[in-house]
Amino acid sequence: MKRIKLVIVLAVVMGALVFTPELAAKVVKVTASVTPTSWTGKCPKRFEFVGKITVDKPGVVKYKWIRSDGASAPVKTLRFRRPGTQNVTTYWQLSAPGKKWEAVQILTPNKMTSNRAVFTLRCTPSQQQPVGCGIYFRSLSKTSGFPGDTFKMYGTWGPTQGTKTPCINKGGANKLIVLSWSNTVLHVKIPAGLAPGKYRVGVYCKFPITGPTGGSTWKDFTIKSRTVTAVRPTTVIKPEMIKPFPRNCPDPAAVEIRFQIVRRYSQFRGRIRITGVVKNIGGKAFIAGPNQAKAYLYQLPPGVPCPNATGGTIVAQREIRNLAPGATLLVSWERDWNSSSPSEGEFPNCYRLLITYDPDIYMDASKDNDDCNQNNNKKDRSGTEINDMLR
């Protein structure tokens, strides 16, 4: 009996020796530093951070980086096999000047926060950013349109409009109507009454007049005529050229891409659900076999205007099998988003919903799987609108 008790006692002692080190570990020191501590020059600029975490015993440490804009990085785990110090790193690339900081926050085994690694950023003008302006015009969502149409101007515009004035000029100054303004995209409307012809679009920093004022670069834009040229009576139009839209037919269409914040981590960071909506807008049910019709949701390359983007990555897909008139099918995907980061904040991805069909679908005898209008099988939406949600 004594021998059994001795064995039990030894087992308890050995178990305590095995599990005690990690539980007993303690962070005794944590520091943070940044390189460089100050920068004056061309922006954006990347700042590198190093954190040093010191423990008195072997164990596990959980930590995260926090910073002055309220954003915080995901929690990470660091394992110490012996007492001592380990380094952790991160970086922050940004274009907005100012005095900012990052720090290391210890979560377990004991709470502790490092010093703030403070840095200062001063941006100097480049050739594309004239003195007194600080804006950069990168591209347009389209290069032609009618009076009253809307389009987007991509670039770096600053968080607020202030005295900056988007214009469309032809020997004078016509102000574009601003529908929305963000740091990376302007959504504008062409004023009514503009005559057809070649124009230039851009943004003045001060006043909408021609001449040497501080402003953006300018890009060509064509105002199109709404006049319809009448067909001469003698013109013969072949019957096969006229294709009236059939009403009683299936028509799966890419109608919408939705953005939704499903979880918010901070002012600028959150979990986003991106959903493509396919709807049968025809008057007849769409019925297809396996793998005959699919809806794909693409994440397109960053920083490219949606109409110009090609390639990309398929992030979600669904088969379209049976879709009654008016019925919808959803294709969804989720990802984390940080509107203050250089990737999402300055060069966000576009998203594309695309409906595709197997070529054999038009060779079978069924009319239930024939899409009678293939001009509505694609829908794009820019991630700049997610940035507007995370502000």
Encode pLDDT of 211-256 as tens digits: 344 566 788 899 888 765 444 544 444 444 434 445 688 999 999 9
Q: What does DSSP assign to residue 72?
A: B
**In sequence order, what DSSP letters do the residues of 193-217 get, joined into one string?**
TPPSEEEEEEEESS-S-SSS-SB--
194 CA to centre of own chain: 34
φ, ψ dihedrals at 376, nearest 5°: -120, 30
Q: Give 22-123's CATH code, choosing from 1.50.10.20, 3.40.50.980, 3.40.640.10, 2.60.40.3880.
A: 2.60.40.3880
AA identity, residue 20: T
Query: How much is the pLDDT for 261?
Result: 93
Cβ atoms of 377 and 355 within 8 Å: the answer is yes
Nearest to 151 by CA among 216, 89, 219, 100: 219
Read off the pLDDT of residues 328-356 as tens digits, 9 standing for 90 and up.
999 999 999 998 876 787 788 899 999 98
Cβ atoms of 197 and 214 within 8 Å: the answer is no
pLDDT above 90 covers what percent of the chain? 40
Kindly give the pairing relationship between strand 84-94 and strand 45-55: antiparallel
pTM: 0.41
Query: How much is the pLDDT for 22?
Result: 44
pLDDT values of the chain reduced to their tens digit, one per residue, 391 residues: 555 555 555 555 555 444 444 456 899 999 999 999 999 988 888 999 999 999 999 999 999 999 988 876 788 999 999 999 999 999 888 888 899 999 999 999 999 999 999 999 998 875 443 344 567 788 899 999 998 899 999 988 877 877 788 888 744 567 888 898 888 899 999 988 788 888 888 887 654 433 344 566 788 899 888 765 444 544 444 444 434 445 688 999 999 999 999 999 998 899 999 999 999 998 889 898 888 899 999 999 887 788 888 888 999 999 998 999 999 999 999 999 998 876 787 788 899 999 988 766 666 667 788 888 888 999 999 988 998 888 7
Domain 246-389 in the same topology as domain 136-223: yes
Give me the residue label for tokens 């919808």. 328
Give me the residue label for tokens 């954003």. 71
- What is the assigned CATH class of domain 246-389? mainly beta
Helix (H) and strand (E) counts in the chain: 2, 27
Q: Where are the domains of the chain?
A: 22-123, 136-223, 246-389
Cβ atoms of 251 and 376 within 8 Å: the answer is yes
As a CATH number, domain 136-223 is 2.60.40.10
Say if residue 190 is exposed, middle or buried (CB neighbours under 10 Å; 0-12, 13-18, 19+). buried
Angular region, 291: left φ>0, alpha ψ -120 to 50, beta rest: left
Tokens of 162: 């202030």
